[in-house]
Amino acid sequence: MLKAIVKRHVKEDHWLFMSWCWQRFGLLRALFAYARLLRNGGMGRAPNPRTGQSLFLRPGTTDQDVYDEIFVGHKYDLPLADPRFIIDAGAHIGLSAVFFSDKYPQATVVALEPEPSNFEILERNAKGHSGIASIRAGLWNRKAHMRIKDFDVPNWGFCVTENASGEGIPALSIPDIMAQFNATQIDVLKLDIEGSEVEVLNAAEPWMDAVKVLIIELHDRFRPGCTEALERALAGRDYERSLTGESIVITGISRKNGSQALPPASSDGHNSGIKY
């Protein structure tokens, strides 16, 4: 009865957020979260289980699902050996970057996110985390610029294309990031870049041996060639493979004795529309 009464008087996205909070944190916390949402211009907050501080979420969106994956399902709570340099490409609103920074306070976490509304919330969530370096950029096979092709889609499914004019959102390669931070080793490389892994992995030969742990979500369902690009990037190397949620975890990467570097793969993604 109470639920039906409340639902009639609350906006749909607010109700979805309050119901989500109710299921996870209890009725009183849900009511408190709703009151804060009204006071903060419609921006939801949820507790960081490790620190108790607030994390910002857009109510009634997949931000809630991402929170569940990371802080309820413990997607990235892996047995990592004291990582010091982490690249989080496709950082979305920064929840994974916050998780890594809280668990490994000695690490530098480079959080890349090209979409402006996502990046704005990422910066809010990263505030107070001195180990997080937030960069509004996409990950690509070389330094370039991109533009968002269609804003009239949900923020987790927009498309980007390379902008030949040299204007727009910066795109960086893995070597660009390593050089910027004077890194010779990547302890954790997390890739969730909605199909752009084809371009990134097809250019992986110069840097793959520097990666200790690769956590990657492949997107063959709308960008054929993602799995093939990963297999090619790992060719000639020993490694161990496991799963966490929808992501593949590659550890123990080492070049096989006598193996030769593969020639660069051709790529058709330089000027095509890519979901990001």
pLDDT tens digits for 182-238?
999 999 999 999 888 999 999 999 999 999 999 999 999 888 999 999 999 999 999
Residue 257 is predicted with a pLDDT of 81
- For residues 158 and 119, the answer to whether their CB atoms sit within 8 Å is no
* CATH assignment, 75-257+265-275: 3.40.50.150
Residue 269 is predicted with a pLDDT of 41
**17 pLDDT more than 70:** yes
197: which strand partners? none
Per-residue pLDDT band for 113 (boundaries 50, 70, 90) equals very high
Write the Ramachandran bin of 42: left for phi over 0, alpha for psi from -120 to 50, otherwise beta.
Answer: left
For residues 89 and 111, give the distance between their C-alpha atoms in angstroms, rounded to a whole number. 6
Identify each DSSP E strand in 120-236 by its residue range. 132-135, 138-139, 144-148, 159-162, 169-172, 188-191, 213-216
For residues 146 and 114, give the distance between their C-alpha atoms in angstroms, rounded to a whole number. 9
CA torsion through residues 182, 186, 188, 194, sign: positive
Residue 146 is predicted with a pLDDT of 82
- The answer to whether the predicted template modeling score (pTM) of the entire model surpasses 0.95 is no
Residue 92 is predicted with a pLDDT of 95
Phi, psi dihedral angles at 70 (to 5 degrees): -85, -45
Residue 165 is predicted with a pLDDT of 73
- Residue range(s) of every CATH 3.40.50.150 domain in the chain: 75-257+265-275
Per-residue pLDDT band for 45 (boundaries 50, 70, 90) equals very high
Per-residue pLDDT band for 268 (boundaries 50, 70, 90) equals very low
